[in-house]
Amino acid sequence: MYPILLLVIILGIYLAAYYLHGRALLERRVVKADPNRPTPAVEKFDGIDYVPANKYVLYGHHFASIAGAGPIVGPAIALAWGWLLPLIWVLFGNIFIGAVHDYLAMIASVRHGGVSIMSISSNVMGRRARYIFLAYVWIALILVLAAFLSVASATFASVPKSATLAVIFMPVSLLFGLMVYKLGIDVRIGTLISLALLAFGIKFAYDVPLSMPYEAWVIVLALYSFIAAALPVWYLLQPRDYLNAYILWIFVGLALVAPLLIPLVKLSGPAIVSFTAKATVIGVPAGTPAAALDIAYFWPMVPLTIACGALSGFHSVVASGTTSKQLSSELDALLVGYGSMLTEGAVSSLAVILPAAIVWDFSAFAQNAGIGAETLDSALKAANIDPTRVKNILSLAATERFYTAYGLVQAAAWSKIFGTERFADLFLGFRLFAAWSLTSFVLTTLDTANRLARFAWVEFFDWTRNVSPSLHGVITNRFVASLFAVALGAVLAYPSIFAEGVGTVRAFSVIWPAFAGTNQLLAALALLTSTLWVYSVLRVRGAVSLLALIPAAFLWITVTLALAIWLIRVAPNLPFLYQLGAGSLVAVSLALDVLLIYLFVRGLLAARASA
Amino acid sequence: MKPKAAVGAAVTALAVLMLLYALVYVGLTTGSVGGEKSEKIKLSSARVIINMTKGATITREVAVPRDSLIVAAGFLLLLLGPWLWFGDTPVSVKKFVEAKTGRRL
């Protein structure tokens, strides 16, 4: 198999999906998007959260918020099954489940004044479902904040150059926003100035590392998250995410160009390694007795490994949280909601899985690409990878697989132009660029997650308005509402825990193995809510209504089975600390799962009876 | 200039000066910010390890480089300063909403 053929197939599938499945079916026949219907950004404009945005700016925001490390790390871990099975899941899940899930959550929110998908559930499943759903999401967002605070702090502490770039990126974004919005400078000129400053910033960051210990970064980033989540979206969020989109396009564009430059370099990896892998593939901590279990069956466990690249519950919270409040026109939702999801799939398939499939067996890759074993070995050594020990891509850790595969493919492609003698330099440069692309979205997720937690908090306490308007004003004040989630996230990220059989780990990581399951369960529940909304509110009937119902049912069965297997087979083999943290979270999630599916069926029957 | 805007301008100026000194000046003259040779502020008991086996909490000292702390403070102040200074909703966005809704903001 040649990469160029795979590239053509993947792009063809995505193009067909966008125009046939997205535009012709979902946009025109299911939701019947209307550009003349006012959106909440306009109707409820407040200059803080409800602010209309250009669709390309919003696309950048939405993608940067939903991406994080998810579309990269998950598929990189899933290579344990081979390259074909993860690719199939990314393509299938991305189009038929993930894009439907994100798009419907966004449109449903737009039609309900910009409230979250959790609050929309009260229209179709009752108020009980709404409050359960909101509390569940708020707790999940605390976990997201803890994980991202910890990951970002650990990255900045261990790679100080990435900290310098993050610190520079923020003022450049602010400057861009002020130039365009306040000084009236043309967007193109503002973009050129900002990108030039960013290029200078990258060079500066390469020369000047910024060092600070982990604990100090946790506090600084928690303060950042608290402040940024309360600031108006036009001030920081929109300009920063607009600039983020350029990094994204360069990153994905390079992944598209590389196979064109090396069209005849064959894939060196096995399509399928096995349908069953070790439990570490589904997030079980290495070194624990559970990690040795051959329990990671491709189905139904794959959603626990590959999240954002195919589907993720967090997306529905973003789509019906920050994004739906900034949408200028219903027609923009296709590019922003559906298009961003396909772009995530493109990142997973073209920037992670395809490069890994090309370079999988290093010696075969050196031969196929005609670069010579010595050239490849010296390039790997320059990146502190021992070629005598590391023979293939699976010998590397998850993110290392991505940096290395992306860097090697780019180096092989561009050395066709700049000469094989530059291979090592090209490899190191593109490897660093891949690492920066990954970390550039971390701060975005950090403040978006806190803003979303604020929305969930405000919606959860809406009942206090009737009890005491002044109390409601205090509780839902945007600074007060931004404080609790990030404070709890910092408490989980800051300390370490030591226990026999576990060693020393960050406090949040005791619960984190359960996050993948709870996140995907959230996706299933959000898609069930959207399906019910399509059926009972939009009153869509016939074959076209199955576009939402079939993926919703398939996803719910898959995730429920995966969680049940996790609870029955994995949890008993985990150390007590993990049983207490992750195990109890999965058990609570399954209980909620059963309760919410009961409310869904009841809502569906009620909708059918009233039809 | 309104008091809020004046405070914003002062905070912005302070933040820019902090970043210029600690990030640009120190960074370019020493090759790093918060490197091994830089002055440290020692915070006792800042590292917290909860020992579940013994049921005890262990704390350790953490040394934070002074210049890195100035960069971090400048970074956070720069988020707030321009917002206080320029903080109103942009005219272009207001005009767009007014055109769409017909109501005056």
Whether residue B63 has pLDDT greater than 90 = yes
CA gap A64, A239 in Å, rounded:
12
Nearest chain A Cα distance for residue B6, angstroms: 17
Provide the strand spans (E) within B1-105: 40-51, 56-65
What per-residue confidence (pLDDT) applies to A180?
86
Contact criterion met (CB < 8 Å) for B71 and A208: no
Which residues of A are less than 8 Å from B88 in CB distance? Answer: 47
- Give A140-149 pLDDT, tens digit per residue: 999 989 988 9
List B residues 39-78 in contact with A (Cβ-Cβ < 8 A). Answer: 46-53, 62-65, 68-69, 71-72, 75-76, 78
Q: Which amino acid is at A418?
A: F
**Of B49, B35, B37, B44, residue with least CA distance to B63:** B44
Average of per-residue pLDDT values in chain B: 91
CA gap A398, A367 in Å, rounded:
25
Which residues of B are less than 8 Å from A171 in CB distance? Answer: 19, 75, 78
Whether residue A334 has pLDDT greater than 90 = yes
Contact criterion met (CB < 8 Å) for B75 and A167: yes
A163-179 burial code (b ≥16 CB/10 A, e <16): bbbbbbbbbbbbbbbbb
Average of per-residue pLDDT values in chain A: 92
CA gap A67, A143 in Å, rounded:
17
Q: What length does chain A have? A: 611
Which residues of B are less than 8 Å from A236 in CB distance? Answer: 79
What per-residue confidence (pLDDT) applies to A611?
66
Mean pLDDT, to the nearest integer, of A537-560? 93
- Give A467-497 pLDDT, tens digit per residue: 999 999 999 999 999 999 999 999 999 999 9
List B residues 84-103 in contact with A (Cβ-Cβ < 8 A). Answer: 86-90, 92-93, 96-97, 100-101
CA gap A409, A423 in Å, rounded:
10
Alpha-carbon distances, residue B22 vs A204, A313, B17, B19 (angstroms): 14, 41, 8, 5
What per-residue confidence (pLDDT) applies to A217?
96
CA gap B30, A161 in Å, rounded:
15
Kindly report the CA angle at A294 between A289 and A297, in degrees rounded to 5? 135
For residue A297, list its beta bridge partners: A276
Q: How far apart, in Å, do the first and last CA atoms of chain A sit?
A: 52
Which residues of A are less than 8 Å from B34 in CB distance? Answer: 160, 210-212
As given in the structure block, the two tokens for residue A30 are 């299911």
CA gap A10, A346 in Å, rounded:
8
DSSP state of A276: E
Which residues of A are less than 8 Å from B49 in CB distance? Answer: 495-498, 504
Contact criterion met (CB < 8 Å) for A498 and B19: no
Contact criterion met (CB < 8 Å) for A220 and B86: no
Give the residue with greater pLDDT, B55 vs A556.
Answer: A556
What per-residue confidence (pLDDT) applies to A562?
95
Dihedral over alpha carbons A90, A96, A101, A106 (to 10 degrees): 110
Dihedral over alpha carbons A77, A152, A383, A251 (to 10 degrees): 70
Mean pLDDT, to the nearest integer, of A200-216? 92
Which residues of B are less than 8 Å from A482 in CB distance? Answer: none
What per-residue confidence (pLDDT) applies to A43?
94
DSSP state of A514: G
Contact criterion met (CB < 8 Å) for B82 and A231: no
Mean pLDDT, to the nearest integer, of A53-77? 87
Contact criterion met (CB < 8 Å) for B32 and A47: no
Mean pLDDT, to the nearest integer, of A127-153? 90
Give the residue with greater pLDDT, A299 vs A433.
Answer: A299
- Give A242-295 pLDDT, tens digit per residue: 888 888 888 889 999 999 999 889 999 999 999 999 999 998 888 888 999 999
What whole-number percentage of chain A has pLDDT above 70? 99
Q: Which amino acid is at A153?
A: S
Whether residue A41 has pLDDT greater than 70 = yes
Contact criterion met (CB < 8 Å) for A51 and B52: no
Alpha-carbon distances, residue A414 vs A240, A258, A262, A429, A470 (angstroms): 30, 8, 9, 11, 63
Largest CA distance in chain B: 68
What are the residues whose beta carbons fall under 8 Å from the beta carbon of A350, sequence distance 6 or more?
Answer: A7, A10, A252, A255, A256
- Give A78-119 pLDDT, tens digit per residue: 999 999 999 999 999 999 999 999 999 999 999 999 999 999
Of A178, A184, A499, the CB nearest to B82: A178
The owner of tokens 């990153």 is A251
Contact criterion met (CB < 8 Å) for B19 and A171: yes
Q: Which amino acid is at A176?
A: F
